[in-house]
Amino acid sequence: MMCGLLLAAGAAMAEDLVILTTNDTHSNIDTDVSGAGGVLPRKAIIDSVRKAEKNVILVDAGDMVQGTLYFKYFKGDVEYPLFNMMDYDIRILGNHEFDNGIDELARYWKNVKGDRLSANYDFSDTPARGIFMPSVIKKVDGHKVGFLGLNVDPKSLISEENYNGMKFKDIISTANAEAARLRKKGCDLVVAVTHIGYGPEPGRESDLDLARQSRDIDIIIGGHSHSFVDPSTPDKTPYRIVNAEGRPVLVTQTGKYGRNVGCIKIDLDHLADRDYGYEYIPVTDRFPHEAYDNKIEAFLAPYKHVVDSVNSVVVGHSLQNLSNRRESGPFANWAGDFGQWYGRNVADSLRMSDPAFPDVDLAIMNVGGIRQPMPEGPVTEGQILSTFPFSNRLRLISIKGSDLVETMKIVAPRGGEAVSEAVRVVTDGKGNVLRVVVNGEEVDPERDYTVCTIDYIAEGNDDMIPMKRHRELWRDSEEVSVRILEYVRHLESLGLGINPDPTRRFVRDVRLPAGEVPES
């Protein structure tokens, strides 16, 4: 019996293990407008599978917080109790669990039920000391199943002040050593729960890398990249990867926002076959209300009232359907143009007391900070705060042209970033930067440029390491979402909507024949 049928099943199936998985739910507590996701339908699925199956282990692969008003307003007071109420058996950290700092992380995670795993984060010199263990062994019908946790390299991803004192250990060597230790302890099956990302990313190890270089890992339950590793499209999203000894490793990930529950079905009597069943259970609003957990519903009610109230306040209008995907362009352009507009207003104000204060040449925001799409039509306060949820603040910085160019060389291969209208990054069409143009002039490597950006980028995060080599000129006192909300209200007061310029800002050199790459 496969996972999709378990919802209607009534009889338990002995000698099987079902592992239910989630990842990157990102504070998406409610069912969305399309009827997808939501903790109440998810709990109904979990309850149904637990009723149908004798052996069920529920696992989360990190980033359960950050992305909606539930986290922005309540800082974890909603998500952590909810996961405890859903009785997760095994949980690991995502990078966003660090967003409020390691002190807050420790405060919440010490009360987390179930096993808290991390084999490659050393918290010995931090407030989180003793909260996490590298691995755990579960005994299931006479078999030993080992689980180990693996986390992403925090460098240039998590603000350094938010993980101060924590030591990072290499992912693959740590994984192989811990998996070998679990085998020596008699584990028949070894599962790696990871928050490192599914596919290749420059300078970072992924689940596919781990699978290929592993020896004792049978299954990888992943997170971080929001990848939907669909078993129905193995050519697009390979999920059976041959390891270093020629054996297949099952690699899984459920996408994002709690829209699916992953389901791995393991025949414990035939573990040597390594032929694990694997599919998804879509999380939708198809359940009758009586299937919902009334304790969870009652717990959520006061928080939901606050969130719904903020989500009902209209502050502006979008004249387009805006995707937050990097390659889609217009929403990123709008964020970059907002940064330049705001930065220039600040500079104009500062020149009233300091006439020598420079004008702003350009703005750089990050596409990863735009967390939701924006449909055409009315825009609410809650939408803006959820779309830009991070507690970043705007800065004006002075930076060498050479460092600007190096930054663009880093971001161009991944599709670019949110830069202002004055910028054109000229490439060969394959991600290699040929030149960077600002205000119609090629960037002078020796000149100082004034940039409006957010502190996350100014600190060299999101792999934009050259941005660290700057001189700070000004720092805002309010979060960027507050400034964006003010800007949207300003546009509305003028009778204008959110209507971004769609022109691409990372462009191919028109003089190059198609497919030709110049010599470096």
The predicted-structure confidence for 435-462, as pLDDT tens digits, reads as follows 999 999 999 999 999 999 999 999 999 9
Does 502 have pLDDT greater than 90? yes
Q: Which of 442, 221, 416, 209 is nearest to 330 (CA)?
A: 416
Identify the burial level of 146 via C-beta atoms within 10 angstroms of its C-beta, where 0-12 means exposed, 13-18 middle and 19 or more buried: buried
Confirm if 168 and 121 have CB atoms less than 8 A apart: yes
Could you report the per-residue pLDDT of 287-305, keeping only the tens digit for each?
A: 999 999 999 999 999 999 9
CATH number for the segment(s) 18-305:
3.60.21.10
160/95 Cα distance (integer angstroms): 12
If you compute the radius of gyration of the chain from its CA atoms, what whole number of angstroms results?
24
Confirm if 299 and 82 have CB atoms less than 8 A apart: yes
Q: Report in angstroms the alpha-carbon separations of 233 from 218, 237, 370.
A: 21, 6, 28
250/219 Cα distance (integer angstroms): 5
475/468 Cα distance (integer angstroms): 15
pLDDT at position 273, please?
86
Q: Virtual CA dihedral for 304, 307, 312, 315, nearest 10 degrees? A: -170
Confirm if 152 and 462 have CB atoms less than 8 A apart: no
Helix, strand, or coil (residue 398): strand
213/116 Cα distance (integer angstroms): 25
pLDDT at position 1, please?
46
- For β-strands 506-508 and 418-419, DSSP reports them as unpaired
Mean predicted confidence (pLDDT) in 191-205: 93
Identify the burial level of 11 via C-beta atoms within 10 angstroms of its C-beta, where 0-12 means exposed, 13-18 middle and 19 or more buried: exposed
Does 325 have pLDDT greater than 90? no
Does 516 have pLDDT greater than 60? no
Reported as a pLDDT band with limits 50, 70 and 90, residue 15 is confident
363/344 Cα distance (integer angstroms): 10
Mean predicted confidence (pLDDT) in 461-473: 97
Q: Is the dihedral of CA 296, 299, 303, 308 positive or negative?
A: positive
Does 12 have pLDDT greater than 60? no
pLDDT at position 329, please?
82
pLDDT at position 505, please?
95
pLDDT at position 513, please?
82
Q: What element of type H or E holds 426?
A: strand 423-427
**Domain-wise residue ranges, the chain:** 18-305, 313-508
Place of tokens 């009334």: 294
Mean predicted confidence (pLDDT) in 113-118: 98
Confirm if 55 and 12 have CB atoms less than 8 A apart: no
- For β-strands 135-140 and 248-252, DSSP reports them as unpaired
Helix, strand, or coil (residue 231): coil
CATH number for the segment(s) 313-508:
3.90.780.10
142/139 Cα distance (integer angstroms): 6
Reported as a pLDDT band with limits 50, 70 and 90, residue 10 is very low
469/42 Cα distance (integer angstroms): 46
pTM of the model: 0.92
Reported as a pLDDT band with limits 50, 70 and 90, residue 424 is very high
Backbone region of residue 24 per phi and psi (left: phi > 0; alpha: psi in -120 to 50; beta: other values): left
